[in-house]
Amino acid sequence: MLTVYVYAPDTLADWEIGYVTAELNSRRFFQKDAPEVSVKTAGIAKEPVKTMGGLTILPDCVIDDIAVSDTSVLLLPGGNTWEDPKHDPVIKKAAELLSVGGAVCAICGATAALARAGLLDHRPHTSNGAGFLDMFCPNYKGQRYYVDKPSVSDGNLITAGGTGALLWTKQVLEHLGVFRPDTLEAWYAYFSTGEAQHFFALMQTLPES
């Protein structure tokens, strides 16, 4: 069983997690023998959180409940509050997960929080463009590992800029192994181009019910 924890900071950027949460919860394109996946929202407290889009999320669990295991995946969405020290506990949890082989997938402002903690100093990563991490993280030392792409996957660490949600989702799904490779490629082609031919290709990759 894989457990995906979606951290819910206040002002969470709704659109950045839309693709990945929809696919993991619906399982609509999962391969026949896909691993079981449990998706949980995690927060500082079990109190309502307001997203940037005005939606309300009631976290399923708190940060301390996130299991430090190689079967845990932590998704860190963007938001406007990542400079607040109140998020330090979840970044500490991220470091623990990385150390045991769990996965950490951060996008937009969450990458800056990882950078401030030194977690990007020695691993390939990306963020909101060259110079973003230098601007918001005075102690950032990972410049030589910065990759100027929408999303970068480096084993159990996946990072993306705020406009890279689709590719980030593709890389998260690939890491989890829930889609067949041809399904994943057709899925990405369809959602990145909108061309009907990729939709039909996607349908043809799905297992018969």
Tokens standing for residue 50: 């307001």
Tokens standing for residue 67: 């299991």
Which H or E run contains 151? strand 151-154
Examine the residue annotation and report whether 61 is marked as an active-site residue of this protein: no
How many angstroms separate the CA atoms of 74 and 72, rounded?
Answer: 7
Choice among 61, 105, 108, 137 that is catalytic: 108
Mark 109-128 as b/e (b = at least 16 C-beta within 10 Å): bbbbbbbbbebbbebbbbbb
Q: How many residues does the chain have?
A: 209
Q: Which amino acid is at 171?
A: Q
> Which residues are designated catalytic?
108
